[in-house]
Amino acid sequence: MVDLKDLSVEAKQVDRAKAVFEREGILVAKNLLPAEVVRSVADFLRDAVMEIDKTVRPYGFSLQDADAPERLTTLMENPEASISEHDRHMFLGHFPLEVRLAEPLRAIPRFLNSHPLLFDLLSTERLYAHMPPTARYVLPRCSLARVPLHQDISYNRHMGDFCVVWVPLVPIDLACGGMAAYARTHHAAELIAEHKNAADGWLAPIDSGSADGAQRVVLAPLEPGDVVIMGKRTMHESMPNSSDRMRLSCDFRFFGEQSHSTKHYLDIAANTVVAPAAAQ
């Protein structure tokens, strides 16, 4: 049995953190992000949820209603409600592209660029981040909006080696779930059976039988300021939110100078988005 404690290291203990990351393929870096960085991103995303609510209201309800998850499900299953792809994606818990590209989210990569941890984990002197990052909201009592069991490599075949950094922006516990991940799966092959997105936009779940159940760790509790770092092959999935709180999180994919990407990425030190060669 792997326990959350086995994966957790104070962020300032960089050498210990690197040893855990290399051994387990999952690291919970405790107290990595300063409170003001987390707060600024959380406030920005909370305001963005209010904007999403404005798109929902013409359908006769609000994201703040107790039955909002059921109302959203009914709405999206109604063939007569013509909902654009943009809105559908947003109603499934994703923040829209303009939010994900906005400057306030860059506070997180900017801080990480000032801290030794990711440089050490990736053995690099320069840090890059895939653009855009992902940001998600999960409504209270919502079991939709869950990413099925996957490895990030299957969603990011355009990058060489990279690590995933998952950032909770609210306290995560067993009720307000974050993720569960499988330790020591970071050297596994890519396990996806078929590379085709389902109607909900996700790839079909990989078979949990590919890993030993005893290696599964529910990554809770976590405090704002803690981050989860995983390898590109580490198996993981979302947990439901059965609490009366909204879950807010964002996730980034970082790579170093020995790696590459054929899509847009952020050169963090230069604060510049680099476009793929063909698009320049």
Ligand X SMILES: O=C(O)CCC(=O)C(=O)O
Residues at the contact surface with ligand X, assessed by CB under 6 A: 136, 147, 152, 164, 166, 179, 236, 238, 249, 251
**DSSP per residue, 128-173:** EEESS-EEEEE-TTB--S-PPSB-GGGG-TTBSS-EEEEEESS-B-
Between 113 and 238, CB nearer to ligand X: 238
Closest residue to Fe ion: CB criterion? 152
Between 152 and 226, CB nearer to Fe ion: 152
Between 8 and 238, CB nearer to ligand X: 238
Instruction: Please report how close the Cβ of residue 95 comes to ligand X at its closest, in angstroms.
Output: 12
Does residue 68 sit in helix, strand or coil?
helix
Catalogue the long-range contacts made by 260-263 (C-beta closer than 8 Å, 24 or more residues apart).
260/159, 260/160, 261/128, 261/130, 261/158, 261/159, 261/160, 262/158, 262/159, 263/130, 263/131, 263/158, 263/159
Q: Does 185 bind Fe ion (CB under 5 A)?
A: no
Q: Does 152 bind Fe ion (CB under 5 A)?
A: yes
Instruction: Please report how close the Cβ of residue 26 comes to ligand X at its closest, in angstroms.
Output: 12
Q: How many CB atoms lie under 10 A from the CB of residue 146?
A: 20
> How far apart are the C-alpha atoms of 52 and 249, rounded to whole Å?
16
Instruction: Please report how close the Cβ of residue 98 comes to ligand X at its closest, in angstroms.
Output: 20
139: its two tokens: 């409504």
Instruction: Please report how close the Cβ of residue 2 comes to ligand X at its closest, in angstroms.
Output: 19
- Residue 179 binds what, of Fe ion, ligand X, none (CB under 5 to 8 Å, by partner type)? ligand X
Between 11 and 230, CB nearer to ligand X: 230
Between 15 and 243, CB nearer to ligand X: 243
Does residue 10 sit in helix, strand or coil?
strand
Instruction: Please report how close the Cβ of residue 185 comes to Fe ion at its closest, in angstroms.
Output: 12
Does residue 184 sit in helix, strand or coil?
coil
Q: Does 226 bind Fe ion (CB under 5 A)?
A: no
- Kindly list the residues in this chain that would bind Fe ion in the complex (CB under 5 A): 152
